[in-house]
Amino acid sequence: MAIENLKRLFDILGAIAGILVLLPFALLVALVIKISDRGPVFYRQTRVGRFGKPFRIWKFRSMVLNAEKLGGSLTKEEDPRITRIGRLLRKSKFDELPQLWNVLMGEMSFVGPRPEVPRYVDLYRAEQREILNYRPGITDLATMLFRNEEALLRGTEDVEGFYVRHCLPKKIELNLDYAKRAGVLHDLWIIFQTLCPYWVSVLVLYSMSLATSFWLTYQLRSDFQMSAADYAEFRRTVAWMVAPQVLLLMWRGQIRGLMSYFSIPEMRRTAAALIGALLIQAAIGYLVYGRLTPSRSILLMDCLLSFFSLCAVRMGVRLLRERSGLERQTRSSGPWRVAIVGTGDLATNLALDFLRSETGNRRVVAFFDDNPRNWNKRPHDIPVVGMPECLLNPEWSERLDEIVVALPNETPERVQEISDILNALPVKVTFASNWPVLHSVAD
């Protein structure tokens, strides 16, 4: 009870602060929506709240007028009912801002199970209805992991059927898991992850590492006795040094990948990005006569230190992953298009084997995994698309030549379930249970 009261106090104070701070921005969004098609600014819909009590949820309108009459309540990525402004609002989650009022009124919390429409709640099994004992929220673990839900539904003809059979049970499972650990600190962590996507965290970590390398370069040049002039030059030039490096790393795909996956190809990309940044920094120094960049010796030393610094960070995170037993994916090349179900060591080694194969006749185009925490990540630049059930979407039948199931530690029941799903698809399906078998499949 004390935790619940503390959460409610946090919700009230946070809602008041959020409304006051975001009011000017909310008014701007409302004005843009009104000007775009002169329709209503807000959209209200009946949802099921705590203990099954219905309430009206508030959102900024992101679809055309009378959208529900033109289609269902669920939307997929290519849904024509979504307006141009609405796509931006949905992508940024700004359409959810009016729900601060629902939080202030006690109908919702900042963190809690996302409220569903009544007809979906009617489909809950008895054990799933336990989720109605908790106050619904603006965000939760499922919201964060299903961040790109519309992309998951892309290409599905029966959007509602797919959502009810595959997405909804996974969301309820995640929410029940959250309920066991609910608390203010856990809520703050979920809010942070919702507001700060993974790539932003990587961007901040890289920027800090690069700035530290630049500072260390000055320290080494001055034998760790930097003068006031050195500090002044460092402060004047650090932004011009780090910005090109970050931009080139983004261009080489080093921001969107998982930090814990680092290999020789990733090292080459990092080196290429930093060398490109060095050329840009040298050009800036030449054009402005050294006012925005330091001397050439500093540029060269910083390039080397930045490379080793980023490699050390990546390798450190990789070692932490390997020691903690976390495991994921990789990259590849070749004409035979392959999807891998699973993201463990078996799947990782298989993708690496495809990548390193001299024949290069297989290209891994996607991973599918039951764990939502891995979705929308790009380890070694290969996307983790979603759950294995996403393979039922017709578009994947056209984009794949083979599906390899690499789930050695999965339960027999789940493997059989996946087998039943894949057997209905018009693509080759291979089940691998150990590395020697996988190796023979790869060749």
**pLDDT tens digits for range 13-31:** 999 999 999 999 999 999 9
Whether the predicted pLDDT of 263 surpasses 80 = no
Whether the predicted pLDDT of 119 surpasses 70 = yes
Return d(Cα 6, Cα 259) in angstroms, integer: 35
Verify that 61 and 140 share a domain, yes or no: yes
Strands (E), 13-53: 42-48
Whether residue 242 lies inside any domain: the answer is yes
- 109 forms bridges with which residues in the sheet? 137
Query: Quick count: other Cβ atoms within 10 Å of Cβ 405?
Result: 23
Verify that 256 and 299 share a domain, yes or no: yes
Return d(Cα 420, Cα 281) in angstroms, integer: 56
Residues 428/402, Cβ–Cβ less than 8 Å: yes
Q: With 0-12 CB in 10 A as exposed, 13-18 as middle and 19+ as buried, what is 289?
A: exposed
Whether the predicted pLDDT of 56 surpasses 80 = yes
Whether the predicted pLDDT of 57 surpasses 90 = yes
Task: From 128, 123, 106, select the one nearest 53 (Cα to Cα).
Answer: 106
Of 195, 214, 248, the last residue of a domain is 195
Whether residue 204 lies inside any domain: the answer is yes
Residues 404/350, Cβ–Cβ less than 8 Å: yes
Return d(Cα 424, Cα 402) in angstroms, integer: 13
Question: What local confidence, expressed as pLDDT, does residue 46 receive?
Answer: 93
Whether residue 330 lies inside any domain: the answer is no
Domain assignment of residue 146, given as a range:
2-195
Task: From 267, 277, 211, select the one nearest 247 (Cα to Cα).
Answer: 277
Whether the predicted pLDDT of 32 surpasses 60 = yes
Verify that 233 and 92 share a domain, yes or no: no
Of 299, 324, 349, the last residue of a domain is 324
Whether residue 92 lies inside any domain: the answer is yes
Strand 137-139 with 336-341, pairing: unpaired
Residue 328 CA from chain centroid, whole number: 15
Question: What local confidence, expressed as pLDDT, does residue 435 receive?
Answer: 39
Q: What is the CATH number of the domain that holds 359?
A: 3.40.50.720
Question: What local confidence, expressed as pLDDT, does residue 328 receive?
Answer: 35
Residues 381/257, Cβ–Cβ less than 8 Å: yes
Question: What local confidence, expressed as pLDDT, does residue 73 receive?
Answer: 65
Region 358-380 average pLDDT = 79
Return d(Cα 115, Cα 21) in angstroms, integer: 25
Region of 368 on the Ramachandran plot (φ > 0 left; ψ -120 to 50 alpha; else beta):
beta
Whether the predicted pLDDT of 265 surpasses 80 = no
Region 74-93 average pLDDT = 79
Of 149, 168, 195, the last residue of a domain is 195
Verify that 159 and 204 share a domain, yes or no: no
Region 366-389 average pLDDT = 85
Question: What local confidence, expressed as pLDDT, does residue 78 receive?
Answer: 65
Verify that 123 and 180 share a domain, yes or no: yes
Whether residue 154 lies inside any domain: the answer is yes
For residue 334, give Cα distances in angstroms to 130, 337, 358, 384, 426. 48, 7, 10, 19, 21
Region 81-98 average pLDDT = 86
Residue 196 CA from chain centroid, whole number: 10
Question: What percentage of residues in the chain have a pLDDT greater than 70?
Answer: 85
Return d(Cα 57, Cα 103) in angstroms, integer: 10
Question: Residue-wise over 231-249: b if at least 16 C-beta within 10 A, else e?
Answer: eebbeebbebbbbbbbebb
Verify that 177 and 281 share a domain, yes or no: no
Q: Which helix (H) or strand (E) holds 429?
A: strand 428-432
Return d(Cα 250, Cα 232) in angstroms, integer: 28
Verify that 11 and 124 share a domain, yes or no: yes
Verify that 121 and 156 share a domain, yes or no: yes
pTM (2 d.p.)? 0.58
Q: Which one-letter DSSP state was computed for residue 272?
A: H
Verify that 107 and 228 share a domain, yes or no: no
Verify that 294 and 431 share a domain, yes or no: no
- Residues 97-113 have pLDDT tens digits of 999 999 999 999 999 88
Task: From 202, 152, 205, select the one nearest 372 (Cα to Cα).
Answer: 152
Sequence-ordered list of residues with C-beta below 8 angstroms from that of 170, at least 6 positions apart, any chain: 142, 372, 387
